[in-house]
Structures are given as structure tokens and as C-alpha cells.
Structure 1
Amino acid sequence: MTMTASVAPTVTDYEASADLATLVVRTAQDDEVKFAAEQLRLACKCAHCTRARIDGRFPERFPGIAITGIGDLGYGLNISFSDGHNRGIYPKIYLLSLAGH
């Protein structure tokens, strides 16, 4: 019986696009994955956003939102947005799951 191990993609690099509307993530497997800033803002799992969802106060859209900062925490990225939200930590494995990896 032969078993093959599947290797999960690993984030090696990232950057915001020049217009700050997209996060570009590169993996060790030479994939380049792009995330719209609005997609990331909508996917935030921080306590504040989770509570807003429970209370029915979370917006359905964030039109025109931009990425204003990215902090690397090792296991994930802390992404700041133009609406002032900077509480979200996006584990790298979570980011890749958003892209279907």
C-alpha cells in the first residue's frame, strides 16, 4: 500500500496592490492568490465583527474599502482597512481556505 502525503500550501510573501484594493499572497508552491479588500473585510472573524453579525449590525458590503496596513504575526496577517477596522487577524491557513486551497 502506497500513501502519498499532501502538502498544504504555505504563504511565503504578500503585499497590497498599488491601488490598495487587493491583497496578493504568494505560496511556496508558486501560486499567486488575490483577495479583494472587500472580501477580506467581509470575512473578518474578530470578536467585534462576530458580535456585529450576531446582533444583525454587520454590513452586507464594504464598497470602496482599501487595505491600509498589513502586519505579519507569523501564523497570520493583521490587516487594517480604510474604515478604521484593524482588529482582524487572518491566519494564513484561513486566507488560503478563502481561496479554496
Structure 2
Amino acid sequence: MTMTALVAPTVTDYRASADLASLVVRTTEDAELSLSAEQLRLSCKCAHCTRARFDGRFPERFPDIAITEIGDLGYGLNISFSDGHNRGIYPKPYLLSLAGR
């Protein structure tokens, strides 16, 4: 009996777009996916953003938000934004789910 391991796709490479308005990720399936900076900022699950949502203080939009820095933590990316927010950690499976994968 031959066993075949199923491996879920993951992020293998990433970069901010030239205009800093989106994150472009490449997957193990060699797909290139794009996530807008606004979508990422709205999807932040850090304690600060979670509390702001709970208190009704989280904005509905982040127009003209830009990605200012990306840190690779191995299991995910720490993304900093032009509004000064830099607490969000986006696990690689979460990024793929945001991109509809």
C-alpha cells in the first residue's frame, strides 16, 4: 500500500507591489496572489484591532493605506502600514484564506 501525503499550499515568496497598495504572494503551487493593503488592514487580528472591533471603534475603511514594511516570521508575515499600525501578524494559511485559497 502506497501512502501519499497531502501538503497544503503555503506562501513561498512575497513582496509589496510597486505602489505599496497590495501584497503579492507566490505559493507552493506557483500561483501569484494579490491582497490589497486595505483588505489586510481590515483583516488584522491583533489584540488592539480585536478590542477596537469589540468596542465599536474599528474603522470600516482604510482608504489610501499603504504597506510600509514586511517582516518574515517564518510561519507568517508581520505587516506594517502607513497609518502606523505594525502589530498584525498574518499566518501564511490566513493570507491564503484571505486570497480565497
**TM-score bracket for this pair, using the shorter chain length:** over 0.9
Tell me which residue corresponds to 1:20.
20
| Structure 2: distance between partners of 1:10 and 1:37 | 20
Tell me which residue corresponds to 2:97.
97
Tell me which residue corresponds to 1:66.
66
Shift of 1:31: 0.5
Q: Gaps (5+ residues) in structure 1?
A: none
TM-superposition CA deviations, 1:10-59 (whole Å, max 9, x none): 11100000100010000111111100000000000000000000000000
Q: Secondary structure at the match of 2:68?
A: strand
| Structure 2: distance between partners of 1:54 and 1:90 | 20
Alignment of 1:1-101 (within 5 A): 6-101=6-101
Q: Structure 1 residue runs of 4+, over 2 Å off?
A: 3-7
Q: Secondary structure at the match of 1:14?
A: strand
* TM, length-normalised to structure 1: 0.94
Give the counterpart letter for 1:60 in structure 2. E
- For the aligned residues, what is the CA RMSD? 1.4
TM-superposition CA deviations, 1:58-99 (whole Å, max 9, x none): 000000000000000000000000000000000001000111
| Structure 2: distance between partners of 1:15 and 1:25 | 7
* TM, length-normalised to structure 2: 0.94
Aligned residues: 100
Q: Secondary structure at the match of 1:78?
A: strand
Q: Secondary structure at the match of 1:90?
A: strand
